[in-house]
Amino acid sequence: MANNFDSNFTKKLAKGVLGSFESQRVLSKNVNTQKLDGKFDPTTGSTTRFKRPTDYKSKRSANGDISGGVRSDIIRGEAVGEVQDYITVDVDFDEAVQSLEMGNDEQEFYDAMALRIVTDLELDFADFMMKNAALQAGTVGSGVGTWDAVAEAGAVLQSTGVPAGPWCYGVNSYSQRKLASDQRSLGGETGMMTANERATITDNFAGMRVMTATTMGSYTTGAGATRTGALASAPVQTYTSVKDSYTQQLAVSGFQANLEVKAGERVSVAGRNRLNLSTRRPILDDLGNQILFTAVVTEDVTLDGSGGGTLTISGPAVFEANGAYNTVDSALVSGDVVALLAAASSIIQPNMFWHKDAFSIGSVPIKKLFSTDTIGTTSDGLQMRVSKYADGDANKQIVRIDFRPAYCAMNQFWAGHGHG
């Protein structure tokens, strides 16, 4: 009887929390959840890999004779999905039973537990997105207050050669208010709506689904006044060197001594410009200017006493003679001017834009601790575990809910930071 009670209790709790969890997600609802589904075996490791598409260089000839040319190599990169820490909510069993027996407060109990898990998940995932978004729209540090800024992000995706949608644009609450006052926001229905539905401002503007997210990532820039330096040496710029991680190391010098550079900051390299990743041709803005190469720093680093060190960036500069995988129009060389694009001592919270397949999220199957545990699964394949167990030392019973996510940046060139 006790086992039946425990099993029925965990099933009821799992059903209630899982439904609330699913309805409160926003960012994690707008990325690919299929790539990581069922890919992790917790007994064999904490990563899984996915093949990136191969690209080729075509040849042109007057008579069809290509015998003198160099054939395209088949080079397959692999995106890596990584397991994250457990997200756990635990409560006293007696309090949980009391809440569930109160009838009208039952949904409130589910919502509160689910909200804690969703908030932690979306905060972590928003930071992950921010640190793995290679593209940039607008001026770093400038707020998004008009629909032109949103449209620019759509232009960046299109001109970069990112495949047609689903494209998404996430804004913080104050950007949402400014967009609403710009009289282009679409009013939605109220009533029984999921957080994802309530967050949606419009389903199609400049080819993007625009939504409000309260969990957008942010970073605080260092205090150093000298935020411009140079490449101390030319980085490795072959596709084979970056094909798996899509990251690159830049050795720099000449910055402020002991400058702290934060993950999420954006850098530019003067004189090197972006290419359309489909045509491999230069990208021009509405004034006919080429788009400068920028990237995002993926890891915190403190430069040394002479202002030198190594920056790890996501969205690498690739330049090879073959050109099939080039991302810039010319090679980076020692002495190229490198600039951190945000002002010193500033809190920066970029809006985000992305193709739905730029990122993937999944969950790691969690084994049952007890036979009465319940494993619940959302409609898009995310799993969580509900357990009830005794803490003999404390003379009490505990209920815990566990969720263990996994994240993957499928293509950093399909996502970017949005500014005004």
Q: Are residues 341 and 326 in the same domain?
A: yes
Q: Are residues 263 and 371 in the same domain?
A: no
Burial class (CB in 10 A: 0-12, 13-18, 19+), 238: middle
Q: How far apart are CA 46 and CA 291, in angstroms?
A: 38
Q: Are residues 257 and 327 in the same domain?
A: yes
Would the pLDDT of 190 be above 60? no
Q: How far apart are CA 170 and CA 211, in angstroms?
A: 5
Q: Are residues 121 and 47 in the same domain?
A: yes
- Interval 121-136 mean pLDDT: 97
Q: Are residues 200 and 280 in the same domain?
A: no
The backbone torsions φ and ψ at residue 397, rounded to the nearest 5 degrees and listed phi first, read: -110, 145
Q: Are residues 115 and 10 in the same domain?
A: yes
Q: Do residues 255 and 228 make contact, with C-beta atoms less than 8 angstroms apart?
A: yes
Lowest-confidence pick of 13-17, 68-72, 167-171, 372-376: 68-72
69 located within any domain? no
Distances (CA, A) of 9 to 36, 71, 377: 30, 63, 17
Lowest-confidence pick of 17-31, 41-55, 132-146, 387-401: 41-55
240 located within any domain? yes
Question: Looking at residue 280, what DSSP letter applies?
Answer: -
64 located within any domain? no
Q: Are residues 204 and 237 in the same domain?
A: no
Say what the pTM is: 0.88
Q: Where in the sequence is the domain holding 145, given as residue range(s)?
A: 139-218+350-356
- Residue at a domain's end among 346, 366, 381: 346
Q: Do residues 221 and 348 make contact, with C-beta atoms less than 8 angstroms apart?
A: yes
CATH number of the domain at 320, please.
2.40.30
CA pseudo-torsion sign 299, 305, 310, 314: positive
Cis peptide before 166 (omega within 30 of 0): yes
Q: How far apart are CA 305 and CA 83, in angstroms?
A: 36
Distances (CA, A) of 273 to 83, 210, 270: 35, 28, 8
| Beta-bridge mates of residue 32 | 360
68 located within any domain? no
116 located within any domain? yes
Q: How far apart are CA 32 and CA 164, in angstroms?
A: 15
DSSP-assigned states of every residue in 193-235? --HHHHHEEEEEETTEEEEE-TT---EE--S-S--EEEESSPP
Distances (CA, A) of 249 to 172, 237, 288: 31, 10, 31
Q: Are residues 213 and 252 in the same domain?
A: no
Q: How far apart are CA 402 and CA 380, in angstroms?
A: 17
pLDDT tens sequence across 263-298: 999 999 999 999 999 999 999 999 999 999 999 999
Q: How many domains does the chain have?
A: 3
Lowest-confidence pick of 5-9, 14-18, 43-47, 91-95: 43-47
Distances (CA, A) of 406 to 3, 41, 66, 329: 32, 12, 46, 35
